[in-house]
């Protein structure tokens, strides 16, 4: 705490993982002897830089850029870039720390990293976003590459931003090194299913948890928070699995649509027009209602897929969900449930899939994008989706089996933390003290 002051999200993430790891340390004292835990508290490299750019009014703006290259035991640093006004070093470190174990759980050769900026793209023109991205990449390009560090999207960074970033990377390096960034457009090295992967994966993980307890999505009401990349495709997969997604939200409020969210309308508003969630209710002809502010978790549902941002579902919200009969919660976002909310779900026997397992489908498909780039190949949607589904089912099985092995059946938090950690720790042991 003294070494990393003012980084509450980072402390929260580290505490949550290390509490789970006590059972591993008891069985494997060599991990402590070799300082694995101590080393995991410190990123391998942290880069902070100035991002100057000129807005449409001709005014010079300055933002702060970050890239935390957290751990490369299993492969090149891999993790998204977040552009949001709340971004600071502690948030980037928490995300990078989580990313290590998530990437390990996918079974693919990727290390953990994360980056971003306190730049807020809301209300900015395409030209402003482009100039910001070009300035951001002008510094970042020195640190990244197919074999070193491979950024992707996250909050505020979608296909448009990845395009501007990749264009500037290509220009600065004079190399068409497609495997340096993932989440690219389909015509220039992107992978089918990458856009859908995180949301699809979170719903598939929920489905696996339900099946493991003899239940299913069939005809059940599902609450999804957010209306960004993860949320849209969590809704799409929910509908494919037979569930009825009845909510979506943004930072201003939420909508409830008891007939099931009209996904085409929602995609038009969010992906094409970049509008607000309130417009969904306005254009749904009285079938949906908009609630300004409030908590989307007040809506009675059987399944919850929090897919907006960290700490968006607190203890009170968890108690409301439980009182309304929730059966499974699968984290599409990173750390959306507070520790006390997770404790409520655990105490009440709710199936709870932590983000590092449940939302690993996005980074897994990014690693599949890297595979396609390395082989100059492009796979079909069906083949790529089959790979994603198999990876998600594999992560679910790994978490369950690991929880059983350590005497905590059904504890996906413990299963994910321990299984993710072991592979990283074993690789770090093999490399010696570095």
Q: Which residues are catalytic?
A: 114
Report phi then psi at 292, rounded to 5: -75, 135
Tokens of 418: 């321990």
Report phi then psi at 160, rounded to 5: -60, -50
Least separation in angstroms between residue 227's CB and ligand NDP is 4
251 vs 316 by CB, closer to ligand NDP: 251
Least separation in angstroms between residue 228's CB and ligand NDP is 2
Q: How many CB atoms lie within 10 A of CB 268?
A: 15
Least separation in angstroms between residue 348's CB and ligand NDP is 24
- Looking at 338-411, list the stretches that DSSP marks H as alpha helix, in order from N- to C-terminal side: 339-347, 355-358, 361-374, 381-405
Least separation in angstroms between residue 306's CB and ligand NDP is 9
Least separation in angstroms between residue 394's CB and ligand NDP is 17
Least separation in angstroms between residue 12's CB and ligand NDP is 14
133 vs 231 by CB, closer to ligand NDP: 231
138 vs 227 by CB, closer to ligand NDP: 227
Strand order through the sheet with 45-54 = 45-54, 60-71, 112-117, 77-83, 149-152
Binding site for ligand NDP (CB under 6 A): 153-156, 198, 226-231, 250-252, 307-309, 312, 332-334, 359, 362
Least separation in angstroms between residue 249's CB and ligand NDP is 6
| Nearest to 313, CA basis, from 290, 288, 346, 335 | 335
What letter would DSSP give residue 112? E
Distance CA 60, CA 171 (A): 23
71 vs 225 by CB, closer to ligand NDP: 225
Give the nearest residue (CB) to ligand NDP: 228
Q: Residue 273 in 3-state DSSP?
A: coil
Distance CA 304, CA 296 (A): 10
174 burial class (0-12, 13-18, 19+ CB within 10 angstroms)? exposed
180 vs 366 by CB, closer to ligand NDP: 366
Contact 197, 268 (CB under 8 A): no
Tokens of 230: 């993860």
31 vs 132 by CB, closer to ligand NDP: 132
239 strand-pairing partners: none
Which helix (H) or strand (E) segment holds residue 290: the answer is strand 289-292
| Nearest to 320, CA basis, from 277, 350, 275 | 350
Least separation in angstroms between residue 31's CB and ligand NDP is 27
Q: Residue 380 in 3-state DSSP?
A: coil
Contact 216, 244 (CB under 8 A): no
231 vs 291 by CB, closer to ligand NDP: 231
Distance CA 85, CA 175 (A): 32
24 vs 130 by CB, closer to ligand NDP: 130
Report phi then psi at 354, rounded to 5: -70, 150
């Amino acid at each position: 705490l003294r070494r990393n002051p003012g980084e509450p999200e980072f402390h929260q993430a580290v505490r949550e993982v290390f509490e789970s790891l006590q059972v591993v340390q008891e069985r494997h004292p060599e991990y402590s002897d070799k300082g694995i835990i101590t080393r995991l508290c410190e990123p391998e490299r942290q880069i902070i830089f100035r991002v100057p750019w000129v807005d449409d009014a001709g005014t010079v703006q300055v933002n702060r850029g970050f890239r935390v290259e957290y751990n490369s035991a299993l492969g090149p640093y891999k993790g998204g870039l977040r552009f949001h006004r709340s971004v600071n070093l502690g948030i980037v470190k928490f995300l990078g720390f989580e990313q290590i174990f998530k990437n390990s759980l996918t079974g693919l050769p990727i290390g953990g990293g994360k980056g971003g900026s306190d730049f807020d793209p809301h209300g900015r023109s395409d030209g402003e976003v482009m100039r910001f991205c070009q300035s951001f990449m002008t510094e970042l390009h020195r640190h990244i590459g197919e074999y070193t560090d491979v950024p992707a999207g996250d909050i505020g960074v979608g296909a448009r931003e990845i395009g501007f970033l990749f264009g500037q990377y290509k220009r600065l390096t004079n190399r068409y090194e497609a495997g340096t960034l993932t989440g690219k457009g389909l015509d220039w090295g992107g992978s089918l299913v990458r856009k859908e992967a995180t949301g699809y994966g979170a719903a598939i993980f929920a489905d696996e948890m339900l099946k493991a307890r003899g239940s299913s999505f069939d005809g059940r009401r599902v609450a999804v928070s957010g209306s960004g990349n993860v949320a849209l495709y969590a809704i799409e997969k929910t509908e494919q699995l037979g569930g009825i997604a009845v909510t979506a939200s943004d930072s201003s409020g939420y909508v409830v649509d008891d007939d099931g969210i009209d996904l085409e309308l929602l995609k038009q508003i969010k992906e094409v027009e970049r509008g607000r969630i309130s417009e969904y209710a306005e254009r749904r002809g009285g079938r949906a209602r908009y609630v300004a502010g409030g908590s989307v978790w007040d809506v009675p549902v059987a399944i919850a897929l929090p897919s907006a941002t960290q700490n968006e579902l607190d203890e009170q919200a968890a108690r409301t969900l439980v009182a309304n009969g929730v059966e499974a919660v699968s984290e599409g976002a990173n750390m959306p449930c507070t520790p006390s909310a997770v404790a409520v779900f655990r105490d009440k026997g709710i199936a709870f899939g932590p983000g590092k397992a449940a939302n690993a489908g996005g980074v897994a498909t990014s690693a599949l994008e890297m595979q396609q780039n390395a082989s100059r190949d492009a796979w079909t949607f069906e083949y790529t989706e089959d790979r994603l589904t198999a990876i998600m089912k594999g992560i679910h099985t790994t978490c369950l089996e690991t929880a059983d092995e350590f005497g905590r059946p059904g504890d996906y938090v413990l299963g994910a933390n321990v299984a993710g950690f072991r592979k990283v720790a074993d690789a770090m042991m093999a490399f010696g003290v570095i």
